[in-house]
Amino acid sequence: MGARWGLAAPAEEATTPLDGFLAESDTIAAALVSCDGTVLEANRALDLLLGPTLCLHQVVVPAHGAVVTALLAEAGPSWHSVQAGLVRRDGELVDCRVWALLQAHGVLVLAEPLRTPGEKLNSLLLELNDDLLGARRELAAKNRRLRELDELKNMFLASATHDLKTPLTSILGYAEILGWEGLSPEAGRMALSIQTSAHRVLRMINDLLDAAQIMTGELKLERSRGDLTSVVRCAVEAVQPAARARQITFSVHGPESVAAHFDERRVLQILDNLLSNAVKYSHHGGQVDVTCEPRGPGASVAVRDTGIGIPVGEQEQLFSRYFRASTALEHGIGGTGLGLANARSFAEAHGGSLACVSEPGVGSTFTLALAQGPVDS
Ligand code: ADP
């Protein structure tokens, strides 16, 4: 039995029913009745609620008489209850839960008034209010935490742009100068290794900065009409040191020039990602084919490698932030999983697309399609 209305669960061992607190109670209506409902003894609360009562059935709403009769007939050594309407002394009906326990001298009956629909609604609203207050407090704490994390992210971005990028740029610059001087083959290899590693770290920092810019909706394109093939050639040139180090050969296919409308910096970033991935995820001595050609009213660049490939089921997820294919993990090749997600966002910002077709152990083809964009007058 619940503790609603301050009604404590009656102890099953109570043997002298209307003794003590029950006899005196103003709040718990209690009576000792015989099996046919005749009231043998009633307490104050029952008198207050139902008035002087000779037989329990006299105060039970007729439609509920049968359930109360059954309750009395089946009363046993543990509490049983039914819900029944009782007639208050002022003539009003009050919904009650009626409890029965078989005692030595009769059946001990308790009547607990249930709340009216209005009261129930009120208490529901109060409970809801409590829940809402709790949820609001929790939400406020989470908000505070998010603001702290946001500040941390801003601090990271500020230091990434300045404290990390600035020294990296000079490492890269000096490594390149070293590469031009007449170094011994050993020192030359070291200079190249510094250069490619510094490039990789710089790319990771740039990927993180770009991802932050995309997420905050701050990505803006500066598009103009230009020759896509020459941008492709530039990008291919830039990955040559890394490609040569792994004896990977590149071939560029397509017309001498392909006119398109694009943001050169962003398209270079897309190509840089696709081409450096083609090198990174290829075996020594692999082959990469880059085809730049007109496509419908726009243009496309396809980068095909003979590398480790990607399982079909994972190909669409490649463009989700931080996703790394199982083939990359199996081969122990490092990365952030941010480059392709950023590259697709850049392509889509152009009204274009970036897609992948791949087969594990055979190779992958990534295709960037750019929409036509406005034609020059
Ligand atoms: P990263 O290379 O830094 O992990 P990317 O976003 O550029 O991040 O690529 C996401 C994942 O896609 C890579 O981790 C790799 O599993 C897979 N991937 C990308 N390009 C290739 C490719 N040419 N061949 C095989 N797997 C690739």
Alpha carbon of 256 to ligand 1 centroid (Å):
29
**Is the CB of 337 within 6 Å of ligand 1?**
yes
Residue 368 φ then ψ, to 5°? -100, 125
Cα torsion 44, 49, 53, 59 to 10°: value is -150
The candidate with the shortest Cα–Cα distance to 111, out of 173, 46, 191, 38, is 46
Task: Verify whether ligand 1 is closer than 6 Å to residue 336 (CB atom).
Answer: yes
Q: What is the DSSP secondary-structure string of 73-121?
A: HH--SS-EEEEEEEE-TTS-EEEEEEEEEE-SSSEEEEEEEPPPHHHHH
Higher pLDDT, 48 or 22: 48
Q: From the CA of 332, how far away is ligand 1's center (Å)?
A: 12
Q: How far is the CA of 358 from the centre of ligand 1 (A)?
A: 11
Q: Mapping DSSP to helix (H, G, I), strand (E, B) and coil, where does residue 251 land? A: strand
Q: What's the mean pLDDT in 131-137?
A: 85
How far does the centroid of ligand 1 lie from the alpha carbon of residue 175, in Å? 26
Give me the percent of the chain exceeding a pLDDT of 70: 90
User: How many whole angstroms from 208 Cα to the centroid of ligand 1?
Assistant: 15
**Alpha-carbon span 106 to 197, nearest angstrom:** 92
- Atom 20 (ligand 1) nearest CA: 277
Per-residue pLDDT, averaged over 115-129, amounts to 69
**Which residue CA neighbors atom 10 of ligand 1 most closely?**
337
Pocket test residue of 310, 346, 362 for ligand 1, highest count of atoms within 8 A of CB = 310
pLDDT of residue 2: 35
State whether residue 11 is helix, strand or coil.
coil
Q: Does 20 have pLDDT greater than 50?
A: yes
Asked whether 360 lines ligand 1 (CB < 6 A), one says no
Amino acid identity for residue 211 in this structure = A
From CA 192, how far away is CA 199, in angstroms rounded?
A: 10
**For residue 299, how far is the Cα from the chain centroid?**
37
Most confident of 86-90, 164-168, 172-176, 205-209: 86-90
pLDDT at 352 over 60: yes
Q: Per residue in 250-300, pLDDT tens?
A: 999 999 999 999 999 999 999 999 999 999 999 999 999 999 999 988 999
247-258 burial code (b ≥16 CB/10 A, e <16): ebebeeebeeeb
Q: What is the position in ligand 1's atom list of the atom closest to the CA of 309?
A: 25
pLDDT for the residue numbered 1:
36
Q: Quick check: CB of 294 below 6 Å from ligand 1?
A: no
Cβ(339) – ligand 1 distance below 6 Å:
yes
At 294-351, the pLDDT tens digits run 998 899 999 999 999 999 999 989 999 889 999 999 999 988 898 999 999 999 999 9
Alpha-carbon distances of 87 from 44, 54, 269, 312, rounded to whole Å: 16, 14, 82, 73
321 ligand 1 Cβ < 6 A: no
86 — phi, psi (to 5°)? Answer: -115, 155
Query: If you average pLDDT over every residue of the chain, what do you get?
Result: 86
Q: What are the tens digits of pLDDT across the range 46-94?
A: 988 899 999 999 999 988 999 999 999 999 998 888 989 999 989 888 8
Among the listed ranges 96-105, 177-186, 191-200, which one has the minimum average pLDDT value? 177-186
Residue 23 pLDDT: 77
What mean pLDDT comes out for the span 149-178?
81
| Selection from 167-171, 203-207, 218-222, 282-286 with the highest mean pLDDT | 282-286
User: What does DSSP assign to residue 325?
Assistant: -
State yes or no: pLDDT of 8 exceeds 80.
Answer: no
How far from chain centre, in Å, is Cα 293? 40
- Whole-number Å distance, alpha carbon 338 to ligand 1 midpoint, is 9
- CB 225, CB 260: distance < 8 Å: yes
Point out which residues pair with 260 in neighbouring strands: 226
Ligand 1 site, residue 308, Cβ cutoff 6 A: yes
112 neighbors 96 (Cβ within 8 angstroms): yes
Distance 325 CA to ligand 1 centre (A): 7
pLDDT tops 60 at residue 229? yes
Cβ of 270 closer than 6 Å to ligand 1, yes or no, is no
The Cα angle at residue 294 between residues 357 and 292, in degrees rounded to 5: 55
- Tell me the pLDDT band of 120, cut-offs 50, 70 and 90: low
Amino acid 118: pLDDT: 67
DSSP state of 206: H
Is 286's C-beta closer than 6 angstroms to any atom of ligand 1? Answer: no
Pocket of ligand 1 contains residue 277 by CB under 6 Å:
yes
pLDDT of residue 123: 65
